[in-house]
A = this chain, B = another copy of it.
Amino acid sequence: MEKQDQILMKKQNKTYVLELIKNMAPISRMQISKNTKMSPTSITRIVGELQEQGFVKETKLVTSGVGRKATLLDVCGDVLFTIGVELDKAVLKIGIVNYVGGMIDLQTYVRNPLESYEETVQNINDKVKNIIEQNAIPVGKIIGLAVGLPGSIDYENGIVRVAEQLRWKDVHLVRDLSKLTSLNVVIDNELKMKIIAENTVGKAKDSKSSILVGIGSGIGSAILLNGEVHRGESNNAGEIGHTVIDPNGNVCSCGKFGCLCTYISEGAILADAKKMKDISSIDEVFVAFRDGESWALNILDRTATYIALAISNLACLYEPECIILSGNLIDKMPEMKQQIEEKCERYMWEPIKKNLHIVHSSLGSQGVVLGAAIQAQNSLFDIN
Contacts and interface: CB of A to CB of B under 8 A. Distances in A.
Contact of A319 (B233, B318, B356): B233
A354 B256 CA distance: 17
A209 interface: yes
Contacts of A354: 234
B347 A309 contact: no
Contacts of A237: 317-319
Interface in A333-355: 346-347, 349-352, 354-355
A297 to B, nearest CB: 18
A234 B352 CA distance: 8
B347 A239 contact: no
A319 B237 CA distance: 5
Contact of A243 (B239, B256, B313): B313
A143 interface: no
Contacts of A225: 225, 230
A155 interface: no
B242 A349 contact: yes
A232 interface: yes
A246 B246 contact: yes
A354 B317 CA distance: 22
Most buried by B among A312, A316, A318, A347: A316
B255 A346 contact: yes
Interface residues of A, number: 49
A15 interface: no
Given A306-B247, A347-B244, A232 B318 contact: yes
A45 to B, nearest CB: 29
B319 A232 contact: yes
A282 interface: no
Number of identical protomers = 2
B355 A234 contact: yes
Contacts of A309: 244, 247
A317 B314 contact: yes
Contact of A239 (B244, B248, B316): B316
Interface in A295-331: 305-306, 309, 312-314, 316-321
A92 interface: no
Contacts of A230: 225, 318
A89 interface: no
Nearest to A233: B355
A193 to B, nearest CB: 18
Nearest to A302: B247
A271 to B, nearest CB: 19
A248 B284 CA distance: 29
B313 A236 contact: no
B243 A317 contact: yes
A317 B311 CA distance: 12
A343 to B, nearest CB: 11
Contacts of A62: none
Interface in A356-382: 356
The 5 closest A-B pairs by CB, nearest first: A232-B319, A233-B355, A243-B313, A237-B319, A242-B349
19 contacts: A161-B351, A209-B232, A209-B233, A239-B316, A239-B317, A239-B319, A240-B317, A242-B349, A243-B316, A244-B309, A244-B347, A245-B246, A247-B305, A247-B306, A254-B349, A254-B350, A256-B346, A313-B313, A317-B318
